[in-house]
Each structure stands twice: as structure tokens, then as C-alpha cells.
Amino acid sequence: MAYTANAMVYKSAQGFGDLPLDRLFSDAPEPVLGVGAVSLLELLRAKRLSTIKDLVHLPPWELRDWLLITEEEAILLLRKAWSTCAVKPVSAWELATQSHAIPRSRLAPLPSLQAALGGTPALLEVAGAPGVGKTQFCLHAAALTAASGGEVFWLDAERSFSAQRLLEMLEHLQPGEVAMQALQRVRHKVCGSLQELHSIVSELSQSKAAAVEQPALPALVVIDSVAAVARRESEQSSIPRRQAALSSLASLLKVLVAPSISAEAASNVPSVVVTNQVMGDPSGGSAASTRVSLGQVWHHAVNWRLVLSHVPPGPTGPGSKEQADPFGRRYLLVEKSPCCATLTIPFNICERGLKELS
């Protein structure tokens, strides 16, 4: 069984597939199957294969025809490439004990939600009608994270960030000078396009992989909102291209929140909160039905989806502001989750942020 030692660390966004081919044969200078390593590399380069990924996807019969060897020998050569890129299996018990050992992150504003999340870093999506409280949710989560000492990276696409409101929430948690210090830990960046968002997130995930020098990864990354950047994109490019870009963004975000095996880097894994909008659903039965935007691909890609609504969850979907309860009662529904049953939490918004109602 030839799993390489490199496969012990969880892969970065770059992965072994993008490494050049000479890395594969550098540790075996003696001839492989009667073919010298150098001449093999030259032949593969002449056939326009440059990275390990190209060799992985090469069919064995093609390698057999180029090198004039039998198909079993070609498969043996390809096994070198496959074993470099393959993932080493970890038992479920080890995963459970590791996730138990890392310090819990406390970012959810509502206690029932915190209990459901369990404290492991996750990719959370918050969706809802306009004005229901998605940005308030994110501000409250940022306040909780900053107050407990973590850094927050806020990527703003809707220009809805308010430092004043964040300070108000922080002062309820820790009054005075401490609140001002916590405010310094929140960094804000305006994001104009999906491309920019993509490059920022891939930069973050690559700095996570470079675990040699301790990277100062933020404890929480907020993207408010993905729908705003994606909508801007759809004017220029086609829908399948946009869906592919969203899927690749989701994949990068998942690399970011993935747990790492080594103990020191384990506490450095950020949580990500992403907001999304809802739109009217003309194909639905009643005129008032709405659904979350960005399509099927994004819906499949997120692991946790929280839907905030003005009306209790029901067949008509999240309501609009006009149908809201006069006392400001709103509902948070855990619509999609890998480990929790669907849960409805009533809450309202006050000066300290979101408050759970019984």
C-alpha cells in the first residue's frame, strides 16, 4: 500500500494534482520498467502532459501505446501518480475524538442554535427576505467572536456594514475600553465581483495550507452577501458559467473550514457565514411563495442553511416584511443540516443583537 507520507496533512486548495511531473519521479532515479526516469519525463512532456493531474487522468492503454509496454506495466506506472494524489483514509473514531479535542467556537447568537451547531467550525448560509435580520445576525456573530478574542474578516458586497451598530453590540458584551479593542479585531473589505471574492478566498485557503509559519487566519469570515456579487456577474456571463463559479467558490470555502489533523493548526480553522437572498418563485403554487436564490448548485453545496423569516415557517416560505408580526417576532429555521433535525427558533432583534424568545 503506497500512500505517501505527504498525504497525512489535509490538502490545500492547490493539491498535489497541480505539481509538475518531475516531483513524481524525483525520488526514484533508477530506471522504471526498463525506461529511464529522464527519458520518461521527456516523452510525457512531448505529449503535452505537464502536471501530475494530467498523468492521473491518462488512460492506461494510451500510456501502453506510447511506451510500448504491457497494460499491467502501464497501470503500475500510473499507480505512482494515483498514490500521490489519493487521500489517506481516517477512521470515524479518530475524527470524532479530534473534533472533541479542539476548542469550541462560540459564534451563534442564539443559544439553541449554538447547541445545534455543536461548536465545530462550519460553513453556514443565512438566507431571508429583505430586512429580516441577516446582517444583524452576522454583526452579532462578529461581535461574539471579537469579544472572545478571535479575528473577524468581513467581506462586504452590499455596503451594509455598520461599525456603529457593531460597537453597540460589543458594548453590551464587554463595556468600555475592551469593546474598542475588540472592534480593532474586525476587518472590513468591500468586494465588487465574484472574481474578486474568489481570489480573496483562495488566498485565505492557501495561507491555511502553509502551516509552517503560523498564519493569522481569522476565526470568522463573513461574506455579505453572495447573491449580490453573483447577480452582478449574471449580466455579463451565462448561467452555467455562473453556477460553475459558485460551485468552485463553495469548494474553496469548504477547504477553508475543513478540520486539520495536526493539533496546533486545529484551533486555527475559521468558521464562515455567508448570506443569501430570497426571490419570488413564479412557478410556486400561491402567489406569495418565495425561495432562496442562486439555484440548485449552490443549494447542494452548502452544508448548513438557516432561513430567517417574518412569519412562522410554513408552506408559503419566508414571508415579507409587510406580513411581519407587530411585536417584531421573527423565526429562524434550520432548513438544511448534516446532523440536526429541522429546528425553528423564534427570536427578535434588540439593542444587544438577536435575542431568543421562548
Partner 1 sequence: MDAKLPASAQALDVRILHSIPTPVADALISRGCRQAPDVTPEALKEVLAQHHVAGLEQRANSMLSACRQEAAKDAWRSADSALSLLRKTARPKVTLPCTGLNQLLGNALRGGALLEVFGLPGSGKTQFCLQLCAAVQIPCDPNISIVEAVFIDTEGSFVPQRYLQVCEALLAERRPHLDPPAAAAQLEAVMRSLHVCRAYDATELYSTIKQLGAFIKGRRRPVGAVVVDSIAFSFRHELMDNTAQRARVLAEIAGTLRQLGADHDLLAVVTNHMTTRFGREDTWLAPALGETWAHQASTQLRLEKMACWQQPGLGRATLTKSVEKAACSCAYRISHKGLRDDGPEAMPVDGGCTGLAPLWGRIA
Binding positions for partner 1, 11-70, rule CB under 8 A: 11, 13, 15, 17, 34-35, 53, 56-57, 59, 61, 64-65, 67-70
Q: Which of residues 217-236 bind partner 1 (CB under 8 A)?
A: none
Return the H-helix or E-strand segment holding 259: none
116 binds partner 1 per the rule CB under 8 A:
yes
β-pair type (304-309, 123-128): parallel
Q: Which of residues 314-353 bind partner 1 (CB under 8 A)?
A: 314-315, 335-336, 338-344
Residue 98 CB coordination number (10 Å): 16
Between 66 and 267, CB nearer to partner 1:
66
Q: Which of residues 120-149 bind partner 1 (CB under 8 A)?
A: 120, 123
For the CB of residue 166, give the shortest distance to partner 1 in the complex, in Å.
29
Among candidates 251, 254, 262, 150, which has minimal Cα distance to 211? 262
β-pair type (290-292, 271-280): antiparallel
Between 115 and 190, CB nearer to partner 1:
115
Residue 354 CB coordination number (10 Å): 23
For the CB of residue 72, give the shortest distance to partner 1 in the complex, in Å.
7
Residue 221 has which C-alpha cell?
Answer: 469570515
Please state the φ and ψ torsions of residue 352, each to the nearest 5 degrees: -85, 0
Q: How many residues bind partner 1 (CB under 8 A)?
A: 85
For the CB of residue 229, give the shortest distance to partner 1 in the complex, in Å.
16
Return the H-helix or E-strand segment holding 347: strand 343-350
Taking CB under 8 A as the criterion, the residue among 85, 146, 169, 223 binding partner 1 is 85
297 binds partner 1 per the rule CB under 8 A:
yes
For the CB of residue 6, give the shortest distance to partner 1 in the complex, in Å.
13
For the CB of residue 192, give the shortest distance to partner 1 in the complex, in Å.
21
Residue with cell 486548495: 13
Q: Which of residues 250-289 bind partner 1 (CB under 8 A)?
A: 251, 254-255, 257-258, 283
For the CB of residue 92, give the shortest distance to partner 1 in the complex, in Å.
4
Return the H-helix or E-strand segment holding 40: helix 37-46
Check: CB of residue 226 under 8 Å from CB of residue 274.
yes
Return the H-helix or E-strand segment holding 305: strand 304-309
